[in-house]
Amino acid sequence: MQPEIYIERNTEPIIISSCFFLIPTIYSFYTKQYFYTTILLLTFGISINYWRKATYGFRRNLDLIFSKISFVIFLSSQVIYIHYSSPLLLGYPIFQITDISKRRFVASYIGLILIGCFHDLSNYNYYHRNNNEKIWIKYHMLFHLFCSINQTLILDGIREYKSSQTFCSNSNSNK
């Protein structure tokens, strides 16, 4: 029998925070980005399946591997689709930005930093602070929250990028 990693009652908040992945899933389906819908549904299902009874084994390995695959897909999509033509300099007054694509750019990269911070804080508090349950679970829930926010920002950027490409190609074909 495989040993449990966590006490079963402690995984309930993480199961609930895994439901945050449904927000970008619904948005991607609504905007007809079915590749991302599939990735997000798999991420959600695998995460829920693992955290319902967290044990060492296949479900844990699958969750660890697929979460990294999903992260790489969304990170590369962020780099490809979420960009702004003029560089943002350090000290730029980001709260005075009126252009939505520039706001999305700034928010998505700040979100990426927060994702990294909450992931590392969750791992640190679990592995190096004697499994401090109350703290690492909160950090892991924040990690899930900011992942879903960032995924939604990325999906919105992809939607805008593709609609501008369609608009450009349609206007060029009318000439």
pLDDT in tens, 80-89: 888 665 555 4
- Assign 57 to helix, strand or coil: coil
Within a domain: 175: no
Q: Which residues pair with 118 in a beta bridge?
A: none
Within a domain: 20: yes
Q: Considering only CA atoms, which of 166, 167, 170, 162 is closest in space to residue 81?
A: 162
Within a domain: 67: yes
* Contact between 165 and 119 (Cβ < 8 Å): no
Within a domain: 92: no
Q: pTM for this one?
A: 0.81
Within a domain: 86: no
pLDDT digits (tens, 9 = 90+) for 4-41: 555 555 788 889 999 999 999 999 999 999 999 999 99
Highest mean pLDDT among 1-15, 17-31, 52-66, 95-109: 17-31
Range of the domain at 141: 8-80+98-164
C-alpha distances in Å from residue 165, one per residue of 35, 153, 155, 170: 19, 18, 15, 8
Within a domain: 173: no
Domains in the chain, number: 1
Within a domain: 2: no
Run of H or E including 16: helix 12-18
C-alpha distances in Å from residue 113, one per residue of 2, 54, 62, 125: 35, 27, 25, 18
**Residues of 53-68 as b/e, b for ≥16 C-beta within 10 angstroms?**
ebeeeebeeebeebbe
CA torsion, points 133, 134, 135, 141, in degrees to nearest 10? 100
Within a domain: 63: yes
The amino acid sitting at 40 is L
- Assign 83 to helix, strand or coil: coil
| Phi, psi torsion values for 4, nearest 5 degrees | -80, 145
Name the band, by pLDDT with cuts 50, 70 and 90, for residue 134: confident
